[in-house]
Amino acid sequence: MPSPYLVLGRAVKAWGLKGEVKVQPSADSIAIVAGSATVYLRGAGGDLTEYVVERVRPVGSAWLLQFQGVGTIEQAERLVDRELLIPRSAAPTLPEGTYYHADLIGLKVVTEEGRELGRIAEILETGANDVYVVHSEGSEWLLPATREVVRRIDLAGEIMVVHLLKGMIEAEAV
């Protein structure tokens, strides 16, 4: 069952002297944050603190966020290494057959024949299609996120069924 919160990224550093925070996104679009006035930051202990977003702007592949009440570099530094979340109810509804990256991370990946390959550890965004990085004990596979490869995604069952194309994974590795 998906979490009631959607992870959008992680605060990686304080930016400038006026309290901005640089966030490395794990979400597909900055528009999700820009459209939400309230976000939550999750600390190491799992506690959630609510913040009002005053401004969001892109910087390279990251985002800069200015929060209400955070006006100094020292205040911003206290937010580093925290996850940025929004309530799932505030996230835009996705079209059928599309998923938030946060919902796919951790899914067990199995072949159509029932062989377990591992779990999705990361999603790489490329120009053509996303690529799922699947980790297992001592192994890593890169699977293209295409209809030809991904046959079924069951979020409730936490599983993704894939069809391996010839030569995609060495037979002895599976």
Q: Which range, 58-67, 72-81, 86-95, is most confident?
A: 72-81
How many Cα atoms sit within 13 Å of 8 on the Cβ side?
Answer: 27
DSSP E strands, 26-68:
38-42, 48-59, 62-67
pTM: 0.69
Residue of 92 and 164 predicted with greater confidence: 164
Residue of 125 and 71 predicted with greater confidence: 71
Tens digits of residue pLDDT in 20-41: 999 988 765 666 666 667 899 9
**Cβ-based burial of 27 (10 A; exposed 0-12, middle 13-18, buried ≥19):** buried
